[in-house]
Each structure stands twice: as structure tokens, then as C-alpha cells.
Structure 1
Amino acid sequence: MQNEVWLRMGSFIGVLVIMMMWEAYLPNRVSPVTKLKRWSSNFILVLCGAAVARLLVPAGLAVVAVFAAQQHFGLLNLIELPYWLAIAVAVVLLDCLIYWQHRLFHHVPILWCLHRVHHADPHLDASTGLRFHPIEIALSLGVKALGIVLLGVPAEATLIFEILLNASSIFNHSNIKLPDWLEWPLRKLIVTQAMHRIHHSQVVTETNSNYGFCLSLWDKLFGSYTEQAKAGDKGLILGLKEYNSETNNSGIGTVLLIPFRPKPDKS
């Protein structure tokens, strides 16, 4: 269990440092809000989310997977598959689950109130991939735990998926631009920065597309894929119109209260 914690923490810090260094040397665009104000809120949200996760599931989601296996409960515990194949299938199915969770958070008003904390960031960089309200983190943990039980996810698959989910979120929110010769082939498999930037567009139809976190196939399979923004990648205006000023995006208190306050006037 201790090794699992260090593996998750090490991969998280490693990917975050690599992407932040990449952003520093080859940034795609300039933030309209000062970095200090954005980062202070975004990284404090990470700590709040980690505290919530620790309180709700102290030993981690792998324990949920072990419990399901011991009770011989869940789809993959009821069918015979080679263990490596069960792990691969579980990781893919969990990624599909997160796709639908994300889509639900956009279309159910009370859930959107929470998720708009993430979209209120007027700029995208690696820290945005960690910017989620603690209540959304708690609900997401519940969804993942339920999915792990119902699917009978192996403990190893749970660990692999959590590492991939964090790494993918940091990667595809990063403020970089891949060259076209790499972007388009890579997008056939995973969610790239240019693909996910469309999801953070201020154009509502574009925001309500490209929900995937890791694999790009879910958006194409379920009809939510947008290949290119109307204004092109360079013309994209990021964030939400009503949260486009430093006043609406500075201070952890302001960010935490976004779900519970009326939307500010657009400016």
C-alpha cells in the first residue's frame, strides 16, 4: 500500500514538473490573468481535493477493488479472462465511465454549478488539469468507487487508471501546442491539448464537446467530437464569459464559492 502511494505521488509530480517546464520554455499562449493568482487558487484546490479524498477513502480506491474481488462481485470477477486482459479492459471501461461522468456534469444544472469552477479558469495550463471543486472530487470518487465495484476492477487496474487519469488531465490541459505532424496522428488515440482546448471554449456548443480525458475514441463513438473550433486554435477564447476578470478568478475563497453564488454579470 505504501508503494502504491509513492508510485501515484511520484508519477503525479513527475508529469506535472515535465509539463510545467515544457510550458515555461514553449508556451502556446499568454494568460490574461497573472500566474500567481491563478496558481495559488488552483494548487490550493488540489490540496483541498486531496484532503477530501483522504477523508472519504483513506486507503485509496484499490481497497474498494480488493473488497469487490473478495466478495467475487462485479462483471470482471464473474467472467474468466487472462489477468492482463482483465486489467486492460478495466482501464478502458473506467475511462469510458469518466467520459460519461464528465458529460453528465455539463448537462445537469446542479452538477454544472460545481464543474464550472474548472471552466472558470480563463487560461489553460497544467494547473488547470487539477482545478476541481472539492465537492466534485467527492462525487467523482463515489462514481469511481461504484464503477470499480460493478465492473469488478482489479486492484492493479485501479492504480494504473488513477495514474493515467491524473497524467492525462495534466497533459491535455497544458499550455503547449504539438506540431501538426504529431498532433493529428496522436489525436486518433488520446486527447491532445488542441482537442481539449476546444472543450474550454467560450462557445457553448464547443464547450459541450470533447469530453474525453484519456482516450479520444469516446467522443467520436458517442457523437460529441469537435475536430476544430470555429475560430481555429489561435482564435479560441478560453474560460467562461462571466468569469473573465481577475476579480472573479482570484482568491481561493472566491473560487470555492463559485457554485453557491449567482453568476456575475458578463463583462
Structure 2
Amino acid sequence: METFVQAHEAAIRLGFFAGIFGAMALWELLAPRKALYTSKAVRWSNNLGLVVINTLLLRALFPAAAVGMAILASQQGWGLLNNVDVPAWLGIVTAMIVLDFAIWLQHIAVHAVPLLWRLHRVHHADLDFDVTTGLRFHPLEILLSMLIKFAVIALLGPPVLAVMLFEVVLNGMAMFNHGNVRLPAALDGALRKLVVTPDMHRVHHSTHIDEMNSNFGFNLSVWDRLFGTYRAQPRDGHERMTIGLTTYREPREASWLPGLLLIPFRHSSRQDGTQQDTSVHR
């Protein structure tokens, strides 16, 4: 299994990426949740250009990616799950839950630590919210995220299959919950009891700081509920809310690739948003 996953990891991930991206793009076309603020052609070409840069950079520096680290941990006997006897299914489920919690903690950190926020605001500076927003991260944040993932894998010792599944699910869920799509209210309410929905995560991309500092989850919604960072709806409503950062409202800064790459090196206010009541709205 390890050999198969390692040999086909890139093809598996690319296949799922293409399929989910295509499905979300079609869904956005047929049932958009919110009118777009800027040109989709400009945003998509530049956001996807950033994806290409990040993919090439990761493949150049870490050819085996997170799956390779899981294989190394298995071979060396690193990590908790490589040193305890548990059923295979339990190891996979445990690993995916722990990895998701680690991603949630990382998301908290990139908002809380000023230096890391400089990198993460590339993601938040998008003037619209759609499937490509979920893929839009600065190359330095992508590298940092991979190194954190390596550390978690080394400590946890997850099954190789679990890491492969988690990478596919994380990428797919990032595209889903950043989708500019409309779900029936009842379905959204049912889904968000377990996973992060587009309406739930859109709140996180508000220009209001208290809303920006809520709903940090990418996969499971439980972490925000457990730790008091859950917010059900944006105060301005989904159709009227303003997406992005208050300090980057010009398309040349927020939508064009050269501007995106320079955002971490520009001075701006603490969280580039509108200060409001910072209490958590449940």
C-alpha cells in the first residue's frame, strides 16, 4: 500500500482536484450565492497562477510531500501510532481527526501572530469568495504549512493511507467551503453540525475583525464550536457583506499576481479589517 500510494500520490491528488474544481465551478455558475465584486477572469487567472507557483515550489522542495513524510515515519518507527497496536481503521480515523485539529490550530496561529498574519492576509485579501479563494495562499505560507504538517506527522506517526486521504479531503473541502454556492438553509444547517459549509466559512472572510476571527475550520466544524470561535451568520447578511481586507481594495493589489506576492512585505494595520464588537456570536 505504501508503495502504491507513493507512486501514484500526485496522480490521485490531481484527479480529485480536477474533478472537485470542475464540479464547484459549474455549481457556482448555475447557483451563485453572492454577486461578484471584481472580474472573475482576472481573479481566476491570477489565483490559479499562484496555485501553479505553489505546486511547482512544493514539488521541487518536497517531491514526496506529506505522504513521503508518513512513509519515512513508518520506516523509522516515529510517532505515537507507529508504536501502539490499534486496528487499521481506528488509526486512520484518529490520524485524520488529529491532522484536522492541527490545521485548525495553525489557522488560529496565522491570525494571532503578526508575522504569520502578513503571509496569511494574501488569502484574505481576495475581494471575492469563490472556489479559487480556497487555493490562494502565499508561497511562504504554503512552505510553512508543509513544515508544520511534517512535524505533526513525525509526532503522530499516522498511517500512510490516512495522510493520503487527509490531503485529498483537505484540498476538496477547501474548494467546497470557499464555494460561491447556494445551499438550502435546512441542508446547510444539517451539514454544518459536522463539516464546514460555504455559508459558515464565508463569515470568516468578512472585513469585520470579529467575524474574521471566527469559523477557522476547514473540514470539521466541531473545533469552532468547542473553543468558542463559532459564528452562525454575518451581521450584514451573505449577499451584502463585504469580503476581503479594508487595506487592499484595489484589484492591482488584491487580484493581480505581482501584488499578491508583495502583500506580506507591505505595511498595514493589525488585521486590516473594520473593528467591531469582538464578542463571539453563537
Deviates more, 1:239-248 or 1:139-148: 239-248
Deviates more, 1:47-56 or 1:105-114: 47-56
RMSD: 1.4
Q: Which amino acid aligns with 2:153?
A: I
Contact 2:127 2:255 in 1 (8 A): no
Runs (5+) with no aligned partner, structure 2 = 1-5, 274-282
Q: Secondary structure at the match of 1:258?
A: helix
Matched, 1:226 2:231: yes
Please state how far the C-alpha of 1:67 moved relative to its aligned partner: 1.2
- Tell me the residue number matched to 2:117: 112
- Tell me the residue number matched to 2:181: 176
1:137-190, Cα deviation, whole Å (9 max, x unpaired): 000000001101100111101100000000000000010121011000000000
For residues 36-185 of structure 1, the aligned pairs below 5 Å read: 36-185=41-190
> Percent identity among equivalent residues?
45
Q: Distance in 2 between matches of 1:191 and 1:172?
A: 6
Please state how far the C-alpha of 1:263 moved relative to its aligned partner: 3.2
1:14-70, Cα deviation, whole Å (9 max, x unpaired): 000000000011111121111121112100110111112112211221121111112
Q: Which amino acid aligns with 1:84?
A: W
Contact 1:52 1:137 in 2 (8 A): no
Q: Secondary structure at the match of 1:235?
A: coil
TM-score (norm 2): 0.91
Please state how far the C-alpha of 1:247 moved relative to its aligned partner: 2.9
TM-score (norm 1): 0.96
Please state how far the C-alpha of 1:109 moved relative to its aligned partner: 0.4
For residues 190-201 of structure 1, the aligned pairs below 5 Å read: 190-201=195-206
Q: Which amino acid aligns with 1:224?
A: T
Q: Secondary structure at the match of 2:176?
A: helix
Q: Which amino acid aligns with 1:211?
A: F
- Tell me the residue number matched to 1:5: 10
Q: Distance in 1 between matches of 2:259 and 2:39?
A: 16
Contact 1:33 1:245 in 2 (8 A): no
Q: Which amino acid aligns with 1:240?
A: L
Matched, 1:242 2:247: yes
Aligned residues: 266
Q: Distance in 2 between matches of 1:232 and 1:181?
A: 17
